[in-house]
């Protein structure tokens, strides 16, 4: 790889050990993927924050980097294993809380903003069109590449941290024009509305892309989509298809920048949506847990929930997972009080997937196809997908 003088100095240790280690990680990655050079990144988002995923080995690596490492660009974190303020009410044990706090403290020591969210673009870590970034959370990577038109590969925990400590990433993959073309034309011939339905659509497209061995769909037939619907779609298509970039005609900013694919075409109609939805509802599921906010709920979704829960009482464990800054806006707007009066709980900076709740509930109801996938695979729950309105109905009946 071609390195400039500053990058060479980093590699030689002139900026300290953590920066040197970071540059070693990045040059190794660049060599593997044939990158010709490094590029500057404007922001970083780091995943692998939950102590469930980190363990002691991960924590040791973080502490080593925190000895002399300091971030050079705006950096935020993916959800942690618990809400640092509300963990006791959410049933998290003391030992786990202690270890999770050790991890967050190591990140803080490096100058990372310790807001833990999978929707950094909703809370100020928000690149603009064409900017290079290094993000790790799959749904956020898909959103930034596709909906914002920023450029990032899907980073692992160590490579994202290395990008934060150097302000650099190797220039390959989705940073380059030639790797951003649509590969499969998807025609949607059914009305799609709501976060749950966009999640179902993401599952269908994701599954199909895996079969085809392709990654970048060009989707037609969607007349409009909200931020919330797109974030749900991104989470789902990234989970089921490993997709980090899609184009949606008349909706995403790069849809007409590259040639429209024409060789591989597949169509989705109402019947496909109905079948996929049934696949996201387990037989004999008994719901004792409802969770909204995968990816993390926007203030708009929280306002809607306050409206739906006003004057009602929930009869099941009900979490609203969101970023702490969004929760603070909800507090000021009075939404939090309405929601908490109903018995529902905020789980800020964490989520129903990364929290250590494996086996704690029998069945989870969500509006997210991604949460269905991990609810089954990771936490061993039975699952049911539904709209936000249906989730509230289930929780209050």
Binding site for ligand F3S (CB under 6 A): 78-79, 118, 139, 235, 294-296, 321, 351, 353-354, 370-371, 374
Nearer to ligand F3S by C-beta: 87 or 255?
87
Q: Which is nearer to ligand F3S, 18 or 200 (CB)?
A: 200
Which lies closer to ligand F3S via its Cβ, residue 20 or residue 50?
Answer: 50
Q: Which is nearer to ligand F3S, 166 or 232 (CB)?
A: 232
**Residue 240 CB, nearest approach to ligand F3S (Å):** 13
Nearer to ligand F3S, 20 or 139 (CB): 139
Contact assessment for residue 116 and residue 323, using Cβ atoms and an 8 Å cutoff: yes
Cα separation, 236 vs 289, in Å, equals 20
In the bound complex, what is the minimum distance in angstroms from residue 21's beta carbon to ligand F3S? Answer: 26
Measured distance CA(203)–CA(370) in Å, rounded: 8
Nearer to ligand F3S, 276 or 294 (CB): 294
**Nearest residue (CB) to ligand F3S, 171 versus 326:** 326
How is residue 316 written in tokens?
């099941």
CB of 291 to ligand F3S, least distance (A): 9
Asked whether 333 and 314 are in contact (CB, 8 A), the reply is no
Given the complex with ligand F3S, which of 118 and 225 has the nearer CB atom?
A: 118
Q: How far is the CB of 294 from ligand F3S (least distance, A)?
A: 3
Contact 305, 392 (CB under 8 A): yes
| Nearer of residues 132 and 296 to ligand F3S, judged by Cβ | 296
- Minimum distance of ligand F3S from residue 78's CB (angstroms): 6
In whole angstroms, the minimum distance from the beta carbon of 178 to ligand F3S comes to 29
Residue 3, CA atoms < 13 Å, CB-side half-sphere:
19
The minimum distance between CB 140 and ligand F3S, in angstroms, equals 8
Q: Which residues contact 386 (CB under 8 A, 6 or more apart)?
A: 196, 365, 366, 367, 394
In the complex, what is the shortest distance from the CB of residue 35 to ligand F3S, in angstroms, rounded to a whole number?
28
- Judged by beta carbon, residue 43 or residue 79, the one nearer ligand F3S is 79
Burial class for 163, CB neighbours closer than 10 Å (0-12, 13-18, 19+): buried
Residue 150 has φ and ψ, to the nearest 5°, of: -80, 180
**Do residues 388 and 228 touch, judged by C-beta distance below 8 A?**
no
Residues 6+ apart with CB under 8 A from 223: 250
How many of the other CB atoms lie within 10 Å of CB of 26?
A: 27
Least CB distance from residue 380 to ligand F3S, whole Å? 15
Shortest distance (Å) from residue 354 CB to ligand F3S = 6
């Amino acid at each position: 790889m071609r390195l400039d003088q500053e990058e060479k100095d980093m590699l030689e240790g002139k900026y300290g050990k953590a920066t040197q280690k970071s540059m070693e990680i990045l040059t190794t990655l660049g060599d593997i993927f044939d990158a010709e050079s490094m590029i500057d990144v404007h922001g970083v988002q780091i995943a692998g924050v939950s102590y469930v995923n980190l363990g002691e080995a991960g924590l040791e690596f973080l502490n080593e980097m925190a000895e002399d490492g300091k971030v050079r660009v705006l950096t935020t974190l993916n959800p942690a294993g618990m809400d640092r303020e509300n963990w006791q009410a959410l049933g998290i044990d003391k030992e786990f809380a202690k270890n999770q706090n050790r991890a967050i403290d190591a990140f803080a020591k490096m100058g990372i903003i310790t807001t833990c969210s999978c929707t950094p673009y909703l809370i100020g870590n928000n690149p603009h069109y064409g900017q290079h970034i290094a993000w790790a959370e799959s749904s956020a990577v898909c959103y930034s590449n596709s909906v914002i038109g920023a450029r990032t590969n899907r980073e692992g925990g160590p490579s994202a941290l290395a990008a934060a400590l150097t302000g650099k990433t190797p220039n390959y993959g989705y940073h380059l024009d030639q790797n951003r073309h649509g590969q499969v034309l998807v025609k949607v011939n059914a009305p799609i509305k709501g976060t749950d339905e966009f999640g179902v659509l993401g599952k269908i497209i994701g599954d199909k892309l895996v079969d085809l061995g392709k990654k970048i769909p060009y989707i037609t037939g969607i007349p409009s989509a909200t931020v919330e619907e797109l974030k749900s779609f991104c989470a789902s298509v990234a989970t089921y298809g490993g997709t980090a970039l899609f184009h949606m005609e008349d909706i995403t900013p790069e849809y007409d920048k590259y040639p429209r694919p024409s060789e591989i075409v597949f169509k989705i109609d109402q019947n496909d949506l109905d079948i996929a939805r049934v696949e996201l509802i387990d037989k004999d599921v008994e719901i004792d847990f409802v969770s909204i906010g995968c990816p993390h709920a926007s203030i708009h979704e929280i306002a809607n929930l306050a409206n739906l829960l006003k004057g009602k009482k929930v009869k099941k464990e009900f979490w609203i997972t969101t970023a702490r800054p969004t929760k603070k806006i909800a507090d000021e707007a009075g939404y939090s009080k309405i929601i908490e009066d109903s018995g529902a709980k905020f789980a800020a900076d964490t989520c129903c997937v990364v929290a250590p709740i494996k086996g704690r509930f029998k069945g989870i109801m969500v509006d997210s196809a991604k949460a269905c996938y991990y609810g089954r695979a990771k936490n061993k729950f039975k699952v049911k997908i539904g709209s936000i309105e249906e989730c509230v109905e289930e929780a209050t009946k």
